[in-house]
Amino acid sequence: MPKVSMTVNGKPVSGDVDSRTLLVQFLRETLRLTGTHVGCDTSQCGCCVVHVDGDAVKSCTALALSLEGADVRTIEGLANGDKLHPMQEAFRENHGLQCGFCTPGMIMTAVELVSRKGHTLDEKTIREELEGNLCRCTGYHNIVKAIAAGATAMGAKA
Amino acid sequence: MSAQGVGASVLRKEDFRFVTGRGRYTDDINRPGQAHAFFLRSPHAHATINRIDHAAASKMPGVVAIFTGDDIAADKVGGLICGWMIHSKDGSPMKAGAHPALAQGKVRYVGDHVAVVIADTYAQAREAAEKIVVDYGVLPAVTDTADAARTGAPQVHDIAPNNTVYNWHIGDKGATDAAFASARHVAKIDLVNNRLVPNAMEPRAAVGEYDDASDGLVLYTTSQNPHVARLVLSAFIGLAPEHRFRVIAPDVGGGFGSKIFIYAEETVCVWAARKVRRPVKWTADRTEAFLSDAHGRDHVTHGELALDAAGKITAMRVRTTANLGAYLSTFSSCVPTYLYALLLSGQYNIPNIYAEVDAVYTNTAPVDAYRGAGRPEASFLVERLMEIAARETGKDPAEFRRANFITAFPHQTPVILAYDAGNFAASLDSALKLADYANIGKRKAASAAQGKLRGIGFSAYIEACGIAPSAAVGSLGAGVGLWESAEVRVNPIGTVEILTGSHSHGQGHETTFAQLVSGRLGIPFENVSIVHGDTDKVQMGMGTYGSRSGAVGMSAIVKALDKIEAKARKVAGHCLEASPDDIEFRDGKFTVKGTDKSIDFPSVALQAYIAHKFNGQDLEPGLKESAFWDPTNFTFPAGVHICEVEVDPATGVTTIEKWTAVDDFGNLVNPMIVEGQVHGGIAQGVGQALFEGAVYNTDGQLVTASFMDYQMPRADNLPFYDVGTTNTPCPSNPLGIKGCGEAGAIAAPPAVINALTDALGHEDIAMPASPLAVWRAARKTMAMKTAAE
Ligand code: FES
Ligand code: FES
């Protein structure tokens, strides 16, 4: 089996993978980083979003082998120890999650959104940018509020 | 109200682990030496299985075992059951076709389970499955609800002639017909309540494990009710006795009903684990979820409402055909009967109701409870009829409803239920104000000036929750009682563990239940933990569905806390050398009345365990109590939702401009969580009204089996919701709670369709009102306008 090496959450990692192994399988099954979830098989739900070299990527849609040398960040790598990232804190404070299954993907999507669109996000922008993320629990109301608040908080911190 | 007690919007305890990726869902669990299961599913909707040849597949790399229905039969594994007996009009019991965990001789829907391959890896199991050769004798299929009972339709089960599960009815036919005969006006509707796929974001999963030391089984599964799963897998399917069977439902990523049921996959995983002496894991992919999760709704209905000259309702008559799919799922039979027809009185004084429900088999996935379960179907029918009746008689839809509201409680409906409390006008008034109904005319004119069509729609729903008094549901055919259990364990240092039979899969029980305990015992919120979802820890429970965790589950905790307080009072009495009757308990402190002699709760807990201050023969050491709560009535959440839409006739796109919800849930434990439940329910209801619909073609292929083909509501399809509440506390439980989990999904569909039909000016639109359907309907509107000019 071929071997792949990359940086995940700041640590160098490597593992033997099948040529068909997806990034999400490498993360969940090889590295046991189970915070990244799989909610579909058609690249529609966004439960699996991680950052690859700073971009939000659906890890169910990338082959692990294609990411040799990449810098990957998952939900597990977002908080600073027990201190939550402002976007994580915003989801908690705004009740932006219920069952929590979509949440890691939502938060990773949101953090990357802020890096592209800045700290002042209006409702329409947030809703449009969530086109690739499904949540069955929250009706999105509190997710949209959380992302707006998280974006502001990320700016205050910077 | 304390800062973290009942009534406070406390942030959720569970969120830290979820936002950091530390949640532990079933698919996150891996057991040493585990093998993986792949289910070979039927590609045909209806076929005999003449032969299965898995010789070549068995030789594929990594394959541990391949099992088929023959192996299930040889091991005498019982079939999946339906736990609610419904009798037909003629008194005959419902016709329950056999439901083996792996098909035996015949497959009955696309996705039906033909064989399971167990291999070292999932990829190997899947590859090997492709080598299995099945000789099918393809049969014609029946998929259409309205068509299933037709003479000559393909027969799904031999035991059920005309594919009929039951012909059930309720109400007084004679009196209802008489009321119709003398009606001044009759409003009528023919509707389809579209079939939905629940689509919790976490797909179903199971890990079965066999422990040869104890000859016991362990099952990790995505369940809303692990104890019921254990009961069914033990007592009916016969895999192992309950005392040697542990079922664990860890973090569960949403359920909405679909994870109540006991499915073939978890049955097979835990059975196979014993056969292969290895843990066996299976996780559904989304396609499998579409094909094999129990679907929801799927009714075809004709309804009529009779009015007298004053515009008062005198009767309702309903005829519904409900599609239950290819097999009876765990609770399917009660959904279109007792969870549906009992709600047909809505919020209204309707003296006579008669409803007939025929349930049919088809070659489609089983249909069972999905958020609201029967009650959305009832409220859609009632609220569409109310809207149409108001329009046809030239009345304002809000005032027409008000004129027919039930205003005196308790109120006995003609369909079994007795509503205990409510104030429907209060919710209506509040909603009208929030929705700025007074100015809807101006807003419609502004839209019209832009070439758009604006409409407003009402939904005054009621539901029966807190399911349910055991004896009552028993008399209606339920196989189990629907109480709940709780155990309160106070540790010697005064921290508390609550063991509950309720199960949280997004509802936030770790927070709300801790609020109750912290407020009641006067101890910090952080010092309370909630234990649930493990049959080895919690003795017994009925689980979470039907908005029952608050009304039933928390009531059980209250009852156990009453016992804790009574005992702690006795211990405190010994410590303070006073009679327990002279002691008052407030803010976490036991005080001798009229003195400053007191002892706090943690100290009492410690004294209870060291047992130095009292005679252990007179008073047992320790502080641990349990209780079972059996409700005395259903609870009746009710409210008014108002939806305002704008339609672009050029594109058919419907935009929800404004959503107003005013709900009476009785007392609230955590308003933030309640609002979240309402939001999520509305989104699912809007999904049903505008986007979602499971479609089978005539061959029985599910053509909407992915998120590419089945439109889930997304963030940019939905607005912010204006959510308010009113409160008439529920009289039948100690906390006055009614339940809030299903309200949105029940209220929303008729609100949307009433708004759309208001915008369109005609009733000719069905769910889901997709842009294409709305565009067509808007062309009819334009033609009507031109004709009128
Ligand atoms: S799992 Fe990646 S988009 Fe659904
Ligand atoms: S919180 Fe459950 S899917 Fe989003």
| Contact between residue B619 and residue B605 where contact means Cβ atoms under 8 Å apart | no
CA-based nearest distance B752→chain A, Å: 15
* Ligand at shortest distance from the CA of B289: 1
Residues B376 and B369 sit within 8 Å (Cβ to Cβ)? no
- Which residue's alpha carbon is at the smallest distance from atom 3 of ligand 1? A43
Q: Is the pLDDT of residue B2 over 80?
A: no
Q: Which residue of B has its CA nearest to A86?
A: B19
| pLDDT for res B466 | 87
User: Is there an atom of ligand 2 within 6 Å of A98 CB?
Assistant: yes
* Of residues B19, B201, B679, nearest to A139 (C-beta): B679
Mean pLDDT (whole number) for B178-201: 98
Kindly state if the Cβ of A97 falls inside 6 Å of ligand 2.
yes
Contact partners, residue B203, CB within 8 Å, separation at least 6: A38, A39, B27, B222, B283, B284, B285, B286, B288, B289
Confidence at residue B479, expressed as pLDDT on a 0 to 100 scale = 86
Q: Output the pLDDT for position B274.
A: 97
Chain B, 201-240: which have a CB under 8 Å from a chain A CB?
201-203
B19: chain A residues, CB-CB within 8 Å: 75, 84, 88-89, 91-92, 97, 100, 103-104, 107
Structurally, chain B folds into a number of domains equal to: 3
State what percent of residues in chain B have pLDDT above 90. Answer: 95
First to last CA, chain B: 62
The confidence score (pLDDT) of residue B4 equals 87
- The answer to whether residues B318 and B382 belong to one domain is yes
Q: In chain A, which residues have their Cβ closer than 8 Å to the Cβ of B203?
A: 38-39
Return d(Cα A46, Cα A106) in angstroms, integer.
Answer: 7
Q: What are B14-60's pLDDT values in tens digits?
A: 999 999 999 999 999 999 999 999 999 999 999 999 999 999 999 99
Tell whether B646 and B754 lie within a shared domain.
Answer: yes
Residue-wise pLDDT for B748-763, tens only, equals: 999 999 999 999 999 9
CB atoms within 10 A of CB B96: 19
Contacts of B670 in chain A (CB under 8 A): none
- Indicate the pairing of strand B106-107 with strand B47-53: antiparallel
- Is the minimum distance from the CB of B474 to ligand 2 under 6 angstroms? no
Report chain B residues whose CB lies below 8 A from the CB of A91: 15, 19
Chain A environment of B286 (Cβ under 8 Å): 39-42, 45
- For ligand 1, whether the C-beta of A22 sits within 6 Å is no
- B379 and B413: one domain? yes
Q: What amino acid occupies position B215?
A: D
Distances in whole angstroms, Cα of residue B104 to Cα of each of A34, B73, B266, B381: 37, 8, 18, 39
Residue B91 falls inside a structural domain: yes
pLDDT value at B1 more than 60: no
Tokens of B518: 């912290």
Phi, psi of A37, rounded to the nearest 5 degrees: -110, 165
Pocket test for ligand 2, best of A75, A88, A99 (most atoms within 8 A of CB): A99
Domain boundary among B609, B629, B649: B629
Give domain status of residue B189, yes or no.
Answer: no
Q: What is the largest CA-CA distance in chain A?
A: 47
> Does one domain contain both B277 and B312?
no
Which ligand number lies closest to the CA of residue A57? Answer: 1
- Cβ distance B23 to A143 less than 8 Å, yes or no, reads no
Give the CATH number of the domain where residue B105 resides: 3.90.1170.50
Mutate to test the pocket of ligand 1, among A26, A58, A136 (most ligand atoms within 8 A of CB): A58
Q: In 10 A of CB B208, how many CB atoms?
A: 30
Rounded Cα gap, residues B234 and B765, in angstroms: 47
- Which ligand minimizes its atom distance to the CA of A25? 1
Q: Around Cβ B495, how many Cβ atoms within 10 Å?
A: 16
Q: Same domain for B442 and B508?
A: no
Q: pLDDT, tens digit, for every residue of B484-500? A: 999 999 999 999 999 99
Contact B389, B184 (CB under 8 A): no
Ligand 2 atom nearest the C-alpha of A137 is: 2
Q: How far, in Å, CA of B746 to CA of B380, rounded? A: 8
B253 touches chain A (CB under 8 A): yes
Q: What residues have CB less than 8 Å from B341, skipping those under 6 apart?
A: B170, B171, B318, B320, B355, B357, B378, B415
Structure tokens at B558: 């209250």
Answer yes or no: do B642 and B605 share one domain. Answer: no
Q: Residues B654, B612: one domain?
A: no
> Which tokens is A67 given?
């990411």
Question: pLDDT tens digit string along B633-659?
Answer: 999 999 999 999 999 999 999 999 999
Q: Look up tokens 């309160």; give the residue.
A: B488
In this structure, the answer to whether residues B733 and B780 fall within a common structural domain is yes
B114 part of a folded domain: yes
**Closest ligand (CA of A96):** 2
| Nearest-angstrom CA–CA distance, B766 and B234 | 44
Q: How confident is the model at residue A157 (pLDDT cuts 50, 70, 90)?
A: low
pLDDT of residue B396 exceeding 90, the answer is: yes
Split at pLDDT 50, 70, 90, the class of B102 is very high
Same domain, B375 and B416: yes
Does residue B308 share a domain with residue B281? no
Whether residue B615 sits in one domain with residue B743: no
Percent of chain B with pLDDT over 70: 100
What is the number of H-type helices and E-type strands within chain A?
5, 5
**What's the CA-to-centroid distance between A27 and ligand 1, angstroms?**
14
The whole-angstrom distance between A17's CA and the closest CA on chain B is 12
Angle at A44 between CA A87 and CA A94, to 5 degrees: 25
Is B20–A34 a contact, with Cβ atoms under 8 angstroms apart? no
> What confidence tier does B3 reach under pLDDT thresholds 50, 70, 90?
confident
Q: Which of B18, B505, B508 sits opposite A103 (nearest CB)?
A: B18
pLDDT level of residue B596 (50, 70, 90 thresholds): very high
Domain boundary among B237, B271, B292: B292
Q: Exposed, middle or buried by CB within 10 Å (0-12, 13-18, 19+), for B61? A: exposed
- Distance (Å) from CA A34 to ligand 2 centroid: 16
Shortest Cα distance from A151 to chain B (angstroms)?
A: 16
Going from the Cα of B277 to the center of ligand 1, the distance in angstroms, rounded, reads: 33
Cβ-based contacts under 8 A for chains A and B: 179
B506 → closest Cβ in A33, A42, A98: A98
Nearest CB partner across the interface for B15, out of A92, A127, A137: A92
**pLDDT on residue B546:** 83
Closest C-alpha to ligand 2, atom 3: A135
Q: What value of ipTM does the predicted structure carry?
A: 0.98
- Ligand 2 atom at minimal distance to the Cα of residue B201: 3
Whose atoms come closest to the Cα of B285: which ligand?
1
Question: Do B644 and B705 meet the contact criterion of CB atoms below 8 Å apart?
Answer: no
Domain span at residue B388?
A: 299-467+633-788
Quick one: B7 exposed, middle or buried, by C-beta within 10 A (0-12, 13-18, 19+)? middle
Residue B368 counted as domain residue: yes
In a domain, B338, yes or no: yes
pTM for this entry? 0.97
- Cα angle value B64/B68/B73 (rounded, 5°): 120
Per-residue pLDDT reduced to its tens digit, A75-92: 999 999 889 999 999 999
Q: Is there a domain that residue B699 lies in?
A: yes
A107 lines ligand 2 (CB under 6 A): no
pLDDT of B559 over the 80 cut: yes
Shortest distance, CA B15 to any CA of chain A (angstroms): 6
Q: Which atom of ligand 1 is nearest to the CA of A48?
A: 2
Of the candidates B629, B646, B672, which is a domain's last residue?
Answer: B629
User: Does the distance separating the beta carbons of B18 and A136 come in below 8 Å?
Assistant: no
Q: Which atom of ligand 1 is least distant from the CA of A37?
A: 1
Asked, for residue B160, whether it belongs to a domain, the answer is no
What does the pLDDT average to over B371-392?
A: 98
Residues of A in contact with B714 (CB under 8 A): 130-131, 133-134, 140
- Asked if residue B269 lies in contact with residue B282, where contact means CB atoms within 8 angstroms, the answer is yes
Q: Is residue B149 part of a domain?
A: no
Average pLDDT, chain B: 96
Distance in angstroms (rounded) separating the CA atoms of residues B755 and A100: 33
CATH number of domain containing B398: 3.30.365.10
Q: Distance from the CA of B381 to the center of ligand 2, in angstroms? A: 29
According to the 3-state scheme, what is the secondary structure of B90-143?
A: CCCECCCCCCCCCCCCEECCCCCEEEEEEECCHHHHHHHHCCCEEEEEECCCCC
Cα B201 to averaged position of ligand 2 atoms, centre (Å):
7
3-state secondary structure B490-555: ECCCCCEEEEECCCCCCCCHHHHHHHHHHHHHCCCHHHEEEECCECCCCCCCCCCCCCCHHHHHHH
Q: Which of B213-222, B386-395, B462-471 has the lowest mean pLDDT?
A: B462-471
Both B440 and B498 in one domain: the answer is no
> Which tokens belong to B647?
């339609």
CA angle, A79 then A83 then A89, to 5°: 80
Delineate the domains of chain A, giving CATH numbers in brackets. Answer: 3-77 (3.10.20.30), 86-157 (1.10.150.120)
Of A18, A76, A134, the CB nearest to B201: A134
- Closest CA–CA distance from residue B17 to any residue of chain A (Å): 9
Q: How far is the CA of A133 from the centre of ligand 1 (A)?
A: 8
Contacts of B11 in chain A (CB under 8 A): 92-93, 95
Within a 13 Å sphere around the CA of B543, how many CA atoms are in the beta-carbon half? Answer: 28
